Every structure is written in structure tokens, then in C-alpha cells.
């Protein structure tokens, strides 16, 4: 059994990470950490078996970090020899320091996407990790991109591979509306983001990851983008919409359109077209069209987090992170989003994707 600690007690940790950890037979949840004692206790009470609680701010304090008992700090948690791995689900700006601290402690890490707030910081993290890999404990660092593990997207990628041919074009459309009562919008660090793009970064990496997974099956990678960005809904600062054209390394073009400020939404869909046919994907459906006809497969909506967690456990067992969870893949997702934002800020300036 691999002893695991869950660092973070927010919405996604509660609704997705906790049940995902408990669904993997080889993982044993030992501890939960949160900045506040109350949130850590709340999540711990939802666990199926007793777990230890760690925190920075005791219940009833003024909110000043670092005043809790020393035996309850994150450092104390990371010093435990029965905890082999941590799952980090903290706000975007808080994650990098905790990732480094956990890796230094020799713990295997599964951290939430995006890998960092921007490409520069992500590259520094990757360099830090590469320097660590020569150490004796050789901890694994995986970045969680659950879209790559949703059954419908996995099936769509397989269909792209099966139909083959050369890429002719592609499109990514995501039109959504973030309600004021949306549980994610109501988190303070998302309401007033101190990082680029707001929801376009936090959510956009999911959609780019899905597109890149499908394009990889025809050996294509996005190399340039040119786009325009907008703020359609004032509360979704700094921007909530981007419309762009993207170019692959082989010179094939497609479109990327992502909006969180479109009230009359059409949802999420990605389509890849080759010389042999096309594959259309949305979270519950895959449509394949070739010269032999059309086929549609229906799927139940799934977050993919349980499959993601199982892949992390398998990586620990085998001593190697699989491609879908490598920091390098997460860096490429992040760079595409960042270049889209930069192109939009420059009112359509062409941006190269180099990662």
C-alpha cells in the first residue's frame, strides 16, 4: 500500500480527489492538510476511514498563518515516513512552493493543473525537478489533467488513430456561462484572480489538453496561434473569451474558440479532420465519419479523476510517470493558453508555441 496525503480541502479535493484516492486499492489515505483547521476537519470527516489532520491556522484564530502547533504543520506531515505520496489541490499561486517542498521531502507528487501560473514559472519547476531526479529517492512528479482520462476523450483519440490519414483541419469550440452562484466562481482566489486569464487559464488548459491529445494521434502539435480576446462579463476578469486560429508544425490550420461569458451556450466540442475521415468529440459523445459511413457512440459524463488517480498509482508502482501526466505535457498545455492570451492582448499578434 502507498500512503497518501491530500493537500487542499477545496471543492475539487472534496468532490473528486478524495473519492478518487479511496477508489484505488493500492492507495491508503493517511492525512489531509489545509490552510485552516476547520476546512481540514470538514474534509477529514468525509473520508471513509479516520485520517490525521494538518493545518496552518487553528480554528478560532485571527487567520494568521503559521501559528498552529508544530506537530500539525505541513512540514510535520511531509516528515512522516508512512506517507509516500501527496496529491496537491491548492490554488494556482500556492502550488509551486508546495510542489517543491514535497519533492524535496522525497514524496511522489500529483499536482493539479495548470502546472503553474505562467510558462516562466512552469519551466523553473521543471528544471527544479530535473535537478532532483539524480537524488536517491527519485520522487515522481505528475500533473493531473483529468480530461486526458475521460473515457469519451480516450475513445475519440483511439478513433483518430484508427482512421489515420493526414490532418487537414481541426476545431475547438467551448461556449459556457459562469453563473454568479457557480461554486467555483464563489472561491475568492477565482473571483479576483492574481494570475493571467482567469477562467481561461484555469479551465482553458482542460480544453487545450483535449485538443492536443487528439492531434497527437496524427503526430501534430500546435506551433503558432493568432487570436483576439474579450471581456464579455465584467465579473470574469481579466478576460473571459478568446477566438483564434492555430497552426500546426506541418502548416495545417484550425480554430480555437473558448468563452466563459456566453450565456446562450453550445457547450464543449472538438473535431479533428484528416484525409481519411473525421472524429467529433464532446464529453458524452464521439462521432466518427469515414467513406464507409458514420458511427456515433454515447458515453456517461465522467471527470476522469478516478482514472487519473489510478494512473498515478501505477506510475508509482512502475517508477515512471506516463506521458499524459508528465510536467512537460502540462507545460505545453499551459503555453498554448498563454500564447492565446498574449496574442489577444496584442490584438492579433502572431505568437509561437515553443515548449
238-264 confidence digits (pLDDT tens): 999 999 999 999 999 999 999 999 988
Q: Encode pLDDT of 306-348 as tens digits.
A: 999 999 999 999 999 999 999 999 999 999 999 999 999 999 9
Residues of the chain with CATH 3.40.50.720: 2-144
Cell triple for 56: 496552518
Predicted local distance difference test score (pLDDT) of residue 63: 55
Instruction: Provide the CATH number for the domain formed by 2-144 in this structure.
Output: 3.40.50.720
Residue 65 pLDDT level (bands cut at 50, 70, 90): low
CA atoms of 90 and 111, how far apart (whole Å): 8
Residue 57 pLDDT level (bands cut at 50, 70, 90): confident
CA atoms of 333 and 329, how far apart (whole Å): 6
Residues of the chain with CATH 3.30.360.10: 148-305+334-352
- As a whole number, the mean pLDDT across the chain is 95
User: Domain 148-305+334-352 adopts which CATH fold?
Assistant: Dihydrodipicolinate Reductase; domain 2 (3.30.360)
Amino acid at each position: 500500500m502507498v500512503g497518501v496525503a491530500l493537500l487542499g480541502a477545496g471543492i475539487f479535493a472534496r468532490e473528486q480527489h478524495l473519492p478518487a484516492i479511496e477508489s484505488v486499492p493500492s492507495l491508503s489515505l493517511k492525512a489531509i492538510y489545509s490552510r485552516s483547521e476547520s476546512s481540514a476537519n470538514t474534509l477529514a470527516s468525509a473520508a471513509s476511514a479516520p485520517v490525521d489532520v494538518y493545518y496552518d491556522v487553528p480554528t478560532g484564530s485571527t487567520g494568521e498563518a503559521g501559528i498552529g502547533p508544530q506537530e500539525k504543520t505541513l512540514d510535520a506531515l511531509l516528515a512522516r515516513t508512512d506517507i509516500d505520496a501527496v496529491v496537491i489541490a491548492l490554488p494556482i499561486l500556492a502550488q509551486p512552493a508546495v510542489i517543491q517542498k514535497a519533492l524535496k521531502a522525497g514524496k511522489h507528487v500529483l499536482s493539479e493543473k495548470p502546472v503553474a501560473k505562467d510558462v516562466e514559472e512552469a519551466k523553473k519547476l521543471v528544471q527544479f525537478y530535473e535537478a532532483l531526479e539524480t537524488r536517491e529517492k527519485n520522487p515522481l512528479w505528475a500533473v493531473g489533467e483529468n480530461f486526458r482520462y475521460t473515457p469519451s476523450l480516450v475513445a475519440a483519440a483511439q478513433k483518430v488513430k484508427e482512421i489515420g490519414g493526414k490532418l487537414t483541419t481541426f476545431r475547438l469550440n467551448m461556449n459556457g456561462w459562469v453563473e454568479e452562484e457557480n461554486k467555483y466562481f464563489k472561491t475568492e482566489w477565482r473571483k479576483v484572480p492574481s494570475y493571467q486569464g482567469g477562467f481561461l487559464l484555469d479551465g482553458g488548459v482542460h480544453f487545450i489538453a483535449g485538443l492536443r491529445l487528439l492531434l497527437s494521434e496524427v503526430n501534430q502539435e500546435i506551433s503558432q496561434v493568432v487570436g483576439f480576446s474579450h471581456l464579455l462579463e465584467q465579473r470574469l476578469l481579466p478576460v473571459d473569451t478568446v477566438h483564434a486560429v492555430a497552426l500546426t508544425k506541418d502548416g495545417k490550420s484550425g480554430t480555437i474558440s473558448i468563452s466563459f461569458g456566453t450565456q446562450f451556450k453550445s457547450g464543449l466540442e472538438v473535431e479533428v479532420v484528416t484525409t481519411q475521415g473525421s472524429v467529433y468529440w464532446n464529453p458524452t459523445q464521439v462521432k466518427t465519419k469515414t467513406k464507409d459511413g458514420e458511427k456515433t457512440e454515447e458515453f456517461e459524463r465522467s471527470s476522469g479523476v478516478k482514472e487519473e488517480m489510478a494512473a498515478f498509482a501505477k506510475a508509482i508502482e512502475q517508477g515512471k510517470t506516463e506521458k499524459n501526466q508528465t510536467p512537460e505535457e502540462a507545460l505545453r498545455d499551459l503555453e498554448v493558453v498563454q500564447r492565446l492570451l498574449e496574442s489577444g492582448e496584442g490584438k492579433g499578434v502572431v505568437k509561437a508555441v515553443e515548449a
